[in-house]
Structure 1
Amino acid sequence: MHVNPAPPFDPELNAALGQLSESIPCTITPHMIPLLRERPVDPALEELVTSLGASHEERTIAGYEGGEIIVSIYRRPGQTTAGPGIFHIHGGGMVFGDRFTGVQAFLPYIASHGAVVVSIEYRLAPDFPDPVPVEDCYAGLLWLAEHAADLGIDAERLVVAGASAGGGLAAGVTLLARDRKGPALRASLLIYPMLDDRNETISSHQIQGIGVWDRTSNFTGWDALLGSRRGTADVSIYAAPARAEDLSGLPPTFIDVGSAEVFRDEDVAYASRIWAAGGIAELHVWPGGFHGFDGFAPHSQLSRAMIKTRNEWLSRLLEF
């Protein structure tokens, strides 16, 4: 196919990319996965937990087919009123990351809304290919719902949230909850979600060798998850939610994405199909944004606007 020129990066973000290039590769190949898994936990995480007056507890629960997985629970000790439950699924292209990756974005809701944040350590591909990651996450959501009272969670205010691969898994979990008549969800928060294994949109062709998480990286992640099934008819809608023909019956959904990243077109299409099915979706495409720019360059003007918009949406959904 003809490859359209890539949209330009926001000037401020482009400058940040230049500084990131030595530590954040734009192209990820399979041999890099072990090294990416060695990244340490940000020491500022526990400082943030302490500053919010929150506690961090770990529990081991049953995942898919009885496999053991760990969840981290963040909440305010001694809270007497049940608060919203935020079920967080981390990113990392299905192949790296852990339950501490990206959870910082949701911890302030412990102080502002009395929320309980549960972050799951689902098992990663290629060691545990599909359906293990999404089924682990769904098992975690079921566990959260079953233990809502014990955790101090208002079961009528459950939100599933995730970024990148975690956004794709959050979309898959949302579809599973709908189709299996599982826990009722207040909202689904999909941050530049990874939704389509076919990798054939215009944006997936535009972003190659530039930015963060390019076309080759996307093949690396999806091949690890699906193996030879990638791109064939033998792919579940829960693994690749962009394949779902019916997007009716979903909770209010928020999607944001950069204009200069692989996931742009599949994310826009997903929001459009929610609307076409009579559902509620809020979509933001941030001009000149590369994948994960809010995390890599949080102090840029575009990142601040993105984070503010996302937080305002989630606050509205948690307050009624």
Structure 2
Amino acid sequence: MSTTSAVPSPPSVCTDSTLTVAGQEVAVRVYGSKPAGQVLPLVVHFHGGAFVSGDLDNGCTVASLLEGAGARVVSVAYPLSPFPQPLETGYAVLQWAYKQRTRLAGAGAQVYLAGEEAGGNLAAGVALMARDQSHPPLAGQILLSPMLDPCVGTPSLRAATGTATACKWADGWLKFLGCTRDAEHPYAVPGAAQRLAGLPPTLVLVGSDDPMHDEALAYAARLEAAGLSVTRHVFNQAQQWPDALLQPGTRACPCADEVQEQFRRFFADSRCRPSP
């Protein structure tokens, strides 16, 4: 499996701005431009950082790969904790993006959610919110090594942490979940949601030695068992996932070409579905 590009991708075109949504100011970074006469996928993206760190710079690798796959991307600087603030911010930006979809990505642009690690949790949670509110319609959700299990006890996570006594994911869950009852809320812990019907098509990407490997594939299996459309892919040479996804520059991301190809295929398959 190649980890370098035969033809380098063009540098990302991005613009930082601040939105006022739901009575709060939210920093966003918009990637790409809308070519005249074309309609692009529009993706609302959430960076990783285990709910203990992370910002728009940490999200630039995945956002740039989404842009390179043909999307217009709105990356969100969400508050890291506690629940439900990050979800409420994410949903407010999603509503804004949907209203602005024609200006951002063209008439009839389909809207997606995407996120890596902690951002994958938020993408999955915001997708549940959009389903329950019956708005806005989503064409899909893209989850890269999503952080979905607050028990932090899966075999893949234990193998990754080894004998270490500190665990940033455990620390992140403690910060994100303000109280024990929050862990029972499906928006906070989508991996434990009891009702999955009505969610959009899902792309799940993990590495073979990924700490999030088991919880991500368990969620994919539950979505599939609920009769939903799911595409999953495991990268066998994706060392240092999910941390590599948070490093600026796609060269630092193993399997960057293959990740981008998965995005392209998912967008192409989604276009075969009726537009919202």
**TM-score interval w.r.t. the shorter chain?**
0.7 to 0.9
Counterpart in 2 of 1:32?
none
Identity of aligned residues (%): 31
Counterpart in 2 of 1:220?
171
Shift of 1:91: 0.8
Deviation readout 1:229-256 (Å, 9 max, x if unpaired): 2xx5753111111110122221110111
Q: Is the 8 A contact 2:66 2:263 kept in 1?
A: no
Shift of 1:160: 0.8
C-alpha distance 203-78 of structure 1, shift in aligned 2 (>3 A): closer
Shift of 1:278: 0.5
C-alpha distance 265-250 of structure 1, shift in aligned 2 (>3 A): same
Give yes or no for the alignment of 1:185 onto 2:138.
Answer: yes
Structure 2: gaps of 5 or more residues: 4-9
Cα distance in structure 1, aligned partners of 2:94 and 2:104: 13
C-alpha distance 283-152 of structure 1, shift in aligned 2 (>3 A): closer
AA of the residue aligned to 1:218:
W
Correspondences of 1:19-98 after superposition (within 5 Å): 48-49=11-12, 54=13, 56-63=15-22, 66-76=23-33, 79-98=36-55
Counterpart in 1 of 2:242?
292
Shift of 1:72: 2.0
Q: Looking at CA atoms only, which structure, 1 or 2, has the larger radius of gyration?
A: 1
Counterpart in 1 of 2:6?
none
Structure 1: gaps of 5 or more residues: 1-11, 14-46
AA of the residue aligned to 1:191:
L
Counterpart in 1 of 2:213?
264
C-alpha distance 277-119 of structure 1, shift in aligned 2 (>3 A): same
Give yes or no for the alignment of 1:244 onto 2:193.
Answer: yes
C-alpha distance 302-124 of structure 1, shift in aligned 2 (>3 A): closer
C-alpha distance 189-173 of structure 1, shift in aligned 2 (>3 A): same
Provide the TM-score with structure 1 as the length reference. Answer: 0.71
Counterpart in 2 of 1:35?
none
Cα distance in structure 2, aligned partners of 1:164 and 1:235: 20
C-alpha distance 153-243 of structure 1, shift in aligned 2 (>3 A): farther
SS at match of 2:177: helix
Give yes or no for the alignment of 1:307 onto 2:270.
Answer: no
How many residues align structurally?
263
1:159 is matched with which residue: 98, 112, 115?
112
Deviation readout 1:179-230 (Å, 9 max, x if unpaired): 111111111100000111122322233322489xx9711111100111442x
Deviation readout 1:63-117 (Å, 9 max, x if unpaired): 4xx222122223326734442211111111112111232334444665763x321
Higher relative contact order (Cα pairs below 8 Å, separated by 6+ residues):
2
Deviation readout 1:256-305 (Å, 9 max, x if unpaired): 11232321111111010111100111112333644226546966996256
SS at match of 1:250: coil
Cα distance in structure 2, aligned partners of 1:298 and 1:56: 18
AA of the residue aligned to 2:208:
S
Task: Give the superposed CA RMSD.
Answer: 3.2
1:235 is matched with which residue: 184, 191, 205?
184
Correspondences of 1:79-228 after superposition (within 5 Å): 79-107=36-64, 113=70, 115-125=71-81, 129-209=82-162, 216-228=167-179
